[in-house]
Amino acid sequence: MSTNDRRAAKAAYKERKPAAGVYAVRCAPTGEVWVGATPNLDAIQNRIWFTLRHGGDAFRSLQMACQEHGEGSIAFEALERLDEEVSPLRRNDLLKQRAAHWRATLQAQEM
C-alpha cells in the first residue's frame, strides 16, 4: 500500500460516522440474553470480547456464562441501527428507549 493510499484510508476512517444502535449478546447453551445500546455498534463487540477475555466483571453474569460455556457459545447480534440523521441529543434518549423495548421483548438482562 502506497503512502497516498494509506493517508486516504486514514482520512476516510476519521471521517466516517459510527452507527448507533441496540445490540444483543446471547449464550446459546443457557438461552440467556443481554441487551445494550451504544453510539458505536462497530466497536462494541470488540470491547465486550476484550472485557470477557481479560476477566473484567462489568457484566458479571455474562462473564460467568462465558467462563462456564466458552467464548464460542457467546454470540453478538446488532438488533437495530439508528438513522444517521438523528441529532446527538435525541440519539441518547432514543437509544435508551429502544434498548428498553428490546430488553422487554427478549426478556433480556441489561448491559
pLDDT of residue 96 exceeding 90, the answer is: yes
Q: How far apart are CA 81 and CA 83, in angstroms?
A: 7
Q: Which position has the higher pLDDT, 55 or 28?
A: 28
Lowest mean pLDDT among 13-27, 40-54, 92-106: 13-27
Mean pLDDT to the nearest integer, 44-55: 91
The pLDDT, as a whole number, for residue 57 is: 67
User: If you search the block for the grid coordinates 462489568, which residue do you land on?
Assistant: 58
- Residue type (1 letter), 41: L
Q: How far apart are CA 17 and CA 42, in angstroms?
A: 10
Average pLDDT value over all residues in the chain: 90
pLDDT-derived band at 15, boundaries 50, 70, 90:
confident
Q: Give 100: exposed, middle or buried? Use CB within 10 Å, 0-12, 13-18, 19+.
A: middle
The CATH number of the domain where 77 resides is what? Answer: 3.40.1440.10
Domain carrying residue 44: 3-110
Least Cα distance to 24 among 46, 52, 45, 50 occurs for: 45
How many domains is the chain built from? 1
Q: How far apart are CA 1 and CA 25, in angstroms?
A: 36
